[in-house]
Structure 1
Amino acid sequence: MQRKAWAIYLKPEKKDEYKQLHANAWPGILKQITACNIRNYSIFLREPENILFGIYEYHGTDIEADMKRMADDPETQKWWALTDPCQSAFESAAPGEWWVPLEEVFHHD
């Protein structure tokens, strides 16, 4: 099992829309997340900075293949077409990077 954490900005004017989308996440999206071996997935919001922080556990054996399968899923692409305009990447993001990975510096079970 791997823990992964990511962050991105939430556009202030899109906060309510983003929260509403996730309060009513599509069943197909939830099914796809599970099919791609992601468990214990949460997104947190830090205000007033409007930073989204996502964390999940990956329980598969090939994260690159599972993330590609998710990205290739038509329903996921429709979902991202709604959620991506609510977000903006950090200035420090690498070219092509959207959510930026975070380094785990401490964990305690």
Structure 2
Amino acid sequence: MRLGSVIKVKPEKLEEYKRLHRNVWPDVLKTIKACHISNYSIYYKDGFLFSYYEYKGNDYHQDMAKMAADPKTKKWWAVTDPCQSPIETRNEGEWWAAMEEVFHLD
């Protein structure tokens, strides 16, 4: 499964966000991989962050709950979330807004 999502980055926090992602904490990377996420990228353009990753597990919701419960990941999000501003059209309960895939070519 391929997933894309979008969120705004606060202009005054952009450089901090980039700095943080140049040195993502090893325990956070380990948890991402343990939750069956691969090929993960975040892009920036005109105040927006676009996230893309591939999920290779069998229970996406369970793996996302596992990630959200991880203490190191919670601390990481406490540092990165203040850099972000969710878009107004996101679904209820979303921080990053899920995007619809309209084209893919392998």
CA contact (8 A) 2:90 2:98 kept: no
User: Is the partner of 2:95 in helix, strand or coil?
Assistant: coil
Distance 2:91 2:34 in 1: 28
Normalising by structure 2, we get a TM-score of: 0.98
Structure 1: gaps spanning 5 or more residues: none
Aligned to 1:6: 5
Task: Report the identity percentage.
Answer: 56
Distance 2:33 2:23 in 1: 17
Structure 2: gaps spanning 5 or more residues: none
User: Is the partner of 1:107 in helix, strand or coil?
Assistant: coil
Distance 1:61 1:95 in 2: 24
Distance 2:94 2:100 in 1: 15
User: Is the partner of 1:8 in helix, strand or coil?
Assistant: strand
Superposed CA deviations along residues 9-40 of structure 1, whole A, max 9, x for unmatched, are: 00000001000000010000100000000000
Distance 1:26 1:13 in 2: 22
Amino acid at match of 2:96: W
Aligned to 1:23: 22
- The yes-or-no answer on 1:42 pairing with 2:41 is yes
Displacement of 1:95: 2.8
Of the three residues 82, 85, 97, the one matched with 1:85 is 82
Q: How many residues align?
A: 106
Displacement of 1:93: 1.7
Normalising by structure 1, we get a TM-score of: 0.95
4+ residue stretches of structure 1 with deviation over 3 A? none
Cα RMSD between the aligned structures? Answer: 0.6
